[in-house]
Amino acid sequence: MDGQDPIARKVVEQGMFVKHCKVEVYLTELKLCENENINNTVTRRFSKADTIDKIEKEMRKIFSIPDERETRLWNRYMSNTYEPLNKPDSTMQDAGLYHGQVLVIEQKNDDGTWPRGPSTPKSPGASNFSALPKISPSSLSNNYNSISNRNMKNSNYCMPSYPTYKSYDYQEPGRCNEQPGLCGLSNLGNTCFMNSAIQCLSNTPPLTEFFLNDKYQEELNYDNPLGMRGEIAKCYAELIKQIWSGKYSYVTPRAFKTQVGRFAPQFSGYQQQDSQELLAFLLDGLHEDLNRIRKKPYIQLKDAEGRPDKVVAEEAWENHIKRNDSIIVDIFHGLFKSTLVCPECFKVSVTFDPFCYLTLPLPLKKERNLEVCLVRLDPLIKPMQYKVTVPKMGTIMDLCRALSALSDVPADRVIVTDVYNHRFHRIFAADENLSSIMERDDIYIFEMPVNRLEDNDQVVIPVYLRELYRQTTYSHSSGSLFGLPFLIAVPRNLTEEKLYNFLLRRMCRFVKTSADCEEIEGTVQCFKEDGINGLNGVHDEGSPSEMETDEQDDESSQDQELPSENENSQSEDSVGGDNDSENGILSDDICKGQQTTGHKKQLFTFQFINFGNSDLIYIKDDTRQIQFDDRHLRLDERSYLALDWDPEVKKRHFDDNSAEDCEKHESVEYKPQKKAFVKLKDCIELFTTKEKLGAEDPWYCPYCKKHQQATKKLDLWYLPPVLVVHLKRFSYSRYMRDKLDTLVDFPINDLDMLEFLINPNAGPSCYNLIAVSNHYGGMGGGHYTAFAKNKDDGKWYYFDDSSVSTASEEQIVSKAAYVLFYQRKDTISGTGYFALDRESTKGASAAVGIPIDSDEDCNENEQENDDIENENCMHTY
């Protein structure tokens, strides 16, 4: 606008190598305070591109701190946890500051000391540690025994500081060191998923020894375009060294989280994430940062083409090593065989592919139980509740067939609906998926006299019951829905009186006629004699649409205010004898229930709601004829016939108890026995079972030259020294997300995988458990923890963010187990399987005077090992 100052906004970059620039419209709000008065905060907004130095200058100005006074900045992200911000040139984005973050500025005392503790200069490459109040570890309620006499000290783990800025640390004098590895990780805000994954990797001995001995520095790959210039590897190494330093009972992995967020934006915020997804990213990132291959060659993949599996497997592994050779490959990578068969030409495609972890499906029941209520065609029969067993991935027709087997009602003569708040929330088509039905849904199935797909002479109409209230102005009527809606089939051409009789008969079980009318039984018998029972029909197309209504559902109340009748209905839809009733205005006669059509008293009026002019035609003559369109009338939840009841008439003639009365079939009482648990080997067997590819994931057959739903089978060929098993507990579909809390019984020791290996020369395949990542709670939330076996003392511990406690083997197997870490027994420390382990073993042997093999003997042993490894298609470490 003219005369208005422009609003300046910066363009910020996101990502490390692939830059994404965007205008920062909304600035980040920070809360600033002094160390002397932490509760008194001042709010200011900064750009993500602003530096720490700029923020500190702004804080000095706000709190009137003299220029000659020395200050330092702290990041306060928990009530008792502070992190030094000692990189003045770092931006807010680099420092990981987020909206609402509290920053504290501290002034140096006149005597040269700092209020938060003493400071001593350090070398530029050292890490920074901050003094924190002594606290007790916080954890979820559990029955794990806390470690006795543990000292609560903390390391605020940071990246190396710049030499131009003072760094500082503080250590309490006279305190004992902690046991290496028994170090918690502070929760930075929904980062328990990260803490759980890190603790599992930290307790993977060969990987941790690799970083603790600085072997990673020799293999950093700064030029790998798929890597992260060594940043992830260096950052992880610093964190592991702090965890295993034996100095701290917990550390704060903020710098590690910041680096991960820079390369994987999905982890940059503070939302709950998946520990397995972070683990997959971290293993891949470490692999690329430590890849010994500096220039990856192009390799043309080949199919087996009838060659022996041993030859194809060796070729696949060699090709993999030519492009991927790192400590991660040495420890975590295995090989499986994939077999695809075309269903048309029966072409067999065999490939061998590497894997870093196994994602195992949980054996699920292929069926589910649904409770439904069947409303019979005979109006005198009470609705009956059934419990039916249907396929989990079935259709509505499968539900109809299951109900037919119990009730003898033909499957093609029912309509399935979902009733909510006295209306039809959904009217299902026969080919819709059963996954759209939730456990909490109220499913009502209505019997129809004919097949809805074959009859063209009748229409099916949804009917809602409404109780009208007279407004004081007599200009509008309002009301609320009540009772159970129902479906009625009527001829395409009929009079209002006949439609009224159809409706009255449909409700004769719970609607009492007037004293001067015939008894219900007589009325029903009269209708049957007139042949009315045979006039009901079914509409051809029953394809429902999602509920889109201008009448809002309110879960807290069963009553709904309805708009005036003339706002959502045809002007000539209501049954009555004057213009007021046609326009939805209640006359005194209607309110008293005395409206007449011909010579018969009527208990209710009715109106067609949301029916278009093309759907039905009213012919104004003596009989008030109704004609429905010759085309198939769409069965829709929004288009319905409303039966309007006066409160007094409803009170006298409508029996609510009878209307809600429902009988239970014997199937409802049946409770199938649930399987207490499944074994891990059941999951592995399911993983190696042949399956048909889905329609959305076809395979391109090179012979047919088109995509096919081929059959696929996976088999294990070679297993790595450390086997990571991911239990697929989370399931996703179009309508729901769910977590499977099935107890998987997995062995702590001696997991023998030999029976699942198709390689005849597989070699040792017995594993022991070393770590478990746990997830408690449901989808989209919950809490992550970890069990891990310490490599030094061989005992199990429970890691819950900053808390570490002892654990027993009996506590490890639970419904919360999510990711399992197994180490092959022939690769544990002392066996000399890894080069680093061989070096340490030789050093220990020399120290105690044990003879060391000669170079010749070593060469012979290495040659034998190479022969065995080549034969087993394993990488030579």
What are 527-536's pLDDT values in tens digits? 333 333 333 3
CA distance 661 to 508: 14
CA distance 301 to 706: 20
Question: Would strands 184-185 and 250-252 be described as parallel, antiparallel, or unpaired?
Answer: parallel
Give the closest residue to 686 by CA, choosing from 728, 718, 739, 640: 728
Q: Is 356:328 a contact under the CB 8 Å cutoff?
A: yes
Burial of 502 (0-12, 13-18, 19+ CB in 10 A): buried
844's enclosing H/E stretch is: helix 835-847
Angle between helices 231-243 and 275-289 in degrees, nearest 10: 110
pLDDT tens-digit series, residues 342-392: 888 888 888 899 999 999 988 877 778 889 999 998 888 899 999 998 888
Give the pLDDT score at 125. Answer: 32
Give the closest residue to 329 by CA, choosing from 198, 219, 184, 182: 219
CA distance 853 to 501: 103
Cα 822 to Cα 556, 781, 825, 829, distances in angstroms: 50, 27, 9, 14
Cα 237 to Cα 223, 408, 540, 641, distances in angstroms: 19, 69, 68, 71
Give the pLDDT score at 305. Answer: 80
Give the closest residue to 708 by CA, choosing from 360, 431, 349, 432: 349
Give the pLDDT score at 266. Answer: 79
Residue 200 has pLDDT above 90, yes or no: yes
pLDDT tens-digit series, residues 654-676: 888 888 888 888 888 877 666 66
Q: Is 327:207 a contact under the CB 8 Å cutoff?
A: yes
Burial of 690 (0-12, 13-18, 19+ CB in 10 A): exposed
Give the pLDDT score at 300. Answer: 81
Q: Is 721:877 a contact under the CB 8 Å cutoff?
A: no
CA distance 718 to 58: 60
Give the pLDDT score at 13. Answer: 60
CA distance 114 to 453: 84
pLDDT tens-digit series, residues 2-55: 666 677 777 766 544 444 566 777 888 899 999 888 888 999 999 888 899 999
Give the pLDDT score at 722. Answer: 94
Confidence of residue 208 (pLDDT cuts 50, 70, 90): very high
DSSP conformation letters of 204-246: -HHHHHHHHTTGGGGG--SS-TTS-TTHHHHHHHHHHHHHTSS
| The two three-digit tokens of residue 155, written as one number | 């390391």
Average pLDDT, the chain: 75
CB atoms within 10 A of CB 138: 13
Higher-pLDDT residue of 158, 320:
320
Of the spans 133-147, 284-298, 861-875, which averages the highest pLDDT?
284-298
Amino acid present at 521: E
Query: Could you tell me if residue 149 is left (phi over 0), alpha (psi between -120 and 50 degrees) or otherwise beta?
Result: left
CA distance 270 to 668: 45
pLDDT tens-digit series, residues 471-519: 544 445 567 889 899 988 888 788 888 888 888 888 888 888 754 344 4
CA distance 545 to 637: 8
Of the spans 136-150, 151-165, 235-249, which averages the highest pLDDT?
235-249
Dump strand ranges (E) for 576-693.
596-597, 600-601, 605-609, 616-619, 625-628, 640-645, 663-664, 678-679, 691-692
Residue 170 has pLDDT above 80, yes or no: no
pLDDT tens-digit series, residues 55-106: 999 999 999 999 888 999 988 866 666 778 878 888 887 777 777 888 999 9
pLDDT tens-digit series, residues 806-827: 999 999 999 899 999 999 999 8
Contacts of 180 (CB under 8 A, 6+ apart): 243, 244, 245, 246, 792
259's enclosing H/E stretch is: helix 254-263
Give the closest residue to 800 by CA, choosing from 178, 239, 150, 186: 186
Give the mean pLDDT of 255-271.
81
Give the mean pLDDT of 393-406.
90
Give the pLDDT score at 648. Answer: 87
Give the pLDDT score at 454. Answer: 65
State yes or no: is 783 an active-site residue. Answer: yes
Global pTM exceeds 0.85:
no
Give the pLDDT score at 849. Answer: 42
Give the mean pLDDT of 329-345.
90
Catalytic residue selected from 192, 200, 400, 701: 192
First to last CA, the chain: 69
Catalytic residue selected from 287, 476, 783, 875: 783
Q: Is 802:186 a contact under the CB 8 Å cutoff?
A: yes
Confidence of residue 867 (pLDDT cuts 50, 70, 90): very low
Give the mean pLDDT of 734-754.
81
pLDDT tens-digit series, residues 402-450: 999 999 899 988 999 999 888 899 899 888 888 888 888 899 999 988 7
State yes or no: is 539 an active-site residue. Answer: no
Q: Which residue has the tokens 């009602």?
A: 409
Higher-pLDDT residue of 645, 620:
645
